[in-house]
Amino acid sequence: MRMSGLLVDRSLAAELVHDLSAATNASATPVIAPFTGEVLHDLPQSSARDVTDAAAAARVAQLAWVRLGFAERRRILLDAHDRLLANREELLDVLQSETGKTRGQAFEEVFQGASVTRYYAVSARSVLRTRRRRAGIPVVLATRVSYKSKGLVGVITPWNYPLSLSLMDVVPALAAGNAVVQKADNQGALTILHARRAFIDAGVPAALWAVVAGDGNEVGNAVVDSVDYVCFTGSTATGTKVGVRAAGRLIGASLELGGKNPLIVLDDVNPQKAAANAVYSCFSSMGQLCVSIERIYVQRAVADEFTKAFVARVDSLVQGAAFDDSTDVGSLTSAAQLERVTAHVTDAIAKGATVLSGGKARPDLGPYFYEPTVLADVTPDMACWANETFGPVVAITVIESEDDAIAAANASEFGLNASVFSGSVARGRRVASRISAGSVNINEGYRATFSSVDAPMGGMKQSGLGRRNGREGLLRFVDARTVAESTGVLTLPRAGREFARLAPAMILLLRILKLARRR
């Protein structure tokens, strides 16, 4: 068993942060290793001027990058894909050291990062090629639509999934011919810089993908003010401010924000199997995942057996700090996370909730460890009822009918992710169609949709704006441009007499197109 809380060589850390876009006399902030509370490394902090300088250099690099064309960008990105996989063990070490994840849950990020890199490298040309569209007057006119890169994209990423959430935005931006200025959270910067190295080594110009770190009000705002489009992943409160600031500059934004994600367990499930799958859906990465399940609604007919199996599975989880696959759950990432989780559980217990499993910190394992916690009897006056905990806490509620479960699942200001467990896929699809969420999984918690990089991902209601992944995730980073031409077959009317002569023929054309069911 590889046990440690600090598995990043300080010389490696120094080497990685060397290219961080920060002034040479910049202040530095300590980054803490969650497993031990030790200082992992000191991270230089960027300034607004650093962002401006990085943006200027990125715009120059973008001019050459877009001229390379799809084929050469594809070659470079596929090379980066291979380098990510070749360097995965060191990357996993860095990722675990910064986040406190288990080895397996860190691997999910590497898998996702490589998947999106391959996907956009291969698909960008086909999605963004110039296409003919039906002209307003067939034969007389010809119309084509092409796509122009936005230019410079801002990417603002959180600490919880620093690798996958970065590449899900950065790679399609690069594939579409853009440059990127990314603001990394301090706690995830080392992972991002390590992954970026694979792309630089593959041939991405260093200036094309700049990474900055620092205060959100100064550095984050400077990113929004410097770019042509911005991607933000984080809280609804902060994301709303980013969206407003972007709108003030008339630039687009995609925002993946908070969630209070429900799971419906219908009465035709195998309770044991459903419980095993549901546990992972709630406690992967210690629940520090925007699409993690925090609410379970189980029909009464299977409630007792499901709950018993669920609690037994939670009680059997192996928790600890290990850089191998010997643990099932790891640590919270920061003192702030521990404080938030503790506050939610303490509040719930004080107001009458029942703890079925967990419910306390584990300082014997490390400074930020908290037991996976299962609550029952959660009521609307408790903080964890409607507010996102973003930690290893789930509430189980017994409901009577399918309709009751759907109503409860939709009774939230959020609509990011949801899940339906059923013994019938057809029934699961029917229920899924009635849930107000951007992603709905059947007999899986979040990985079915999260891993489907060819399908759009995003939130409804207060959970966000826009979509990442799929062709939708690529089209964010380009402007559609229409070029239409006269074929010379017929001259369009220009004067009153010409309109009088041609109008009957044009009306006839409209009627023929309708009868032919032509667009």
Please report the domains of the chain, with CATH numbers, ordered by start residue: 11-257+471-477 (3.40.605.10), 261-462 (3.40.309.10), 489-515 (no CATH)
Query: Of 256, 294, 388, 444, which one is the catalytic site residue?
Result: 256
Residue 410 gets the label, from left (phi > 0), alpha (psi -120 to 50) or beta, of alpha
Q: Looking at residue 1, what is its pLDDT?
A: 44
pLDDT of the chain, 519 residues: tens digit per residue = 444 445 566 667 777 777 787 765 678 999 999 999 999 999 999 999 999 999 999 999 999 999 999 999 999 999 999 999 999 999 999 999 999 999 999 999 999 999 999 999 999 999 999 999 999 999 999 999 999 999 999 999 999 999 999 999 999 999 999 999 999 999 999 999 999 999 999 999 999 999 999 999 999 999 999 999 999 999 999 999 999 999 999 999 999 999 999 999 999 999 999 999 999 999 999 999 999 999 999 999 999 999 999 999 999 999 999 999 999 999 999 999 999 999 999 999 999 999 999 999 999 999 999 999 999 999 999 999 999 999 999 999 999 999 999 999 999 999 999 999 999 999 999 999 999 999 999 999 999 999 999 999 999 999 999 999 999 999 999 999 999 999 999 999 999 999 999 999 999 999 999 999 887
Inter-residue contact 162 to 226 (CB < 8 Å) = no
**Distance separating alpha carbons of residues 302 and 206, to the nearest angstrom:** 56
> Is residue 256 flagged as an active site residue?
yes
From residue 356, how far is each of 243, 308, 345, 350 by CA, in Å? 40, 9, 12, 15
pLDDT at residue 226, rounded to an integer: 98
Handedness of CA 278, 166, 255, 257 (dihedral sign): positive
Beta bridge partners of residue 360, listed in sequence order:
none
Query: What's the predicted TM-score (pTM) here?
Result: 0.96
Q: 282 an active-site residue?
A: no
User: Where are the strands (E) in 91-140, listed by range?
Assistant: 131-133
> Which of these is catalytic: 231, 282, 290, 384?
290
Convert 382-402 to b/e letters by CB count within 10 Å (16 or more is b). bbbbeebbbbbbbbbbbbeeb
Strands (DSSP E) contained in 347-429 are 354-357, 373-376, 393-399, 414-415, 417-421
Tokens of 447: 């990985």
Helix, strand, coil percentages for the chain (3-state, nearest 5): 45, 20, 35
What whole-number distance in Å separates Cα of residue 314 and Cα of residue 318?
9
Determine the pLDDT at residue 8: 60
